[in-house]
Amino acid sequence: MKAVVRVMLKDGVLDPQGRAIGQALHNLGFAGVGEVRAGKVIELDLAESDPETARVQATDMARRLLANMVIERFTVEILV
């Protein structure tokens, strides 16, 4: 079973990577782009067959390692 963990900086946390991307897009002529926030996507191939157990495991992994809970938030999606 596959779990997808999406990690983003919390609102109010400075995002220099997002700002650089936004500036580069503007320099390329994409003037209609507002604020840009950069994050990461982590795909986990889990041996678990129960979706709820897989969600609990992926959530625990995100809290303990994949996301810095002080400055980041995350979501978990289970693909069956």
Q: What is the structure's pLDDT at 44?
A: 98
CATH number for position 36: 3.30.1280.10
* Close Cβ partners of 11 (under 8 Å, ≥ 6 residues apart): none
pTM listed for this prediction: 0.91
Contact 8, 76 (CB under 8 A): no
pLDDT tens for the chain, 80 residues: list them. Answer: 999 999 999 999 999 999 999 999 999 999 999 999 999 999 999 999 999 999 999 999 999 999 999 999 999 999 98
User: Is the separation of the CB atoms in 61 and 76 below 8 Å?
Assistant: no
pLDDT at res. 7: 98
Under a CB-based contact definition with an 8 Å cutoff, are residues 9 and 72 in contact? yes
pLDDT of amino acid 80: 87
Print the domain residue range for 6: 2-79
Structural domain count of the chain: 1
The answer to whether the CB of 47 falls within 8 A of the CB of 29 is no
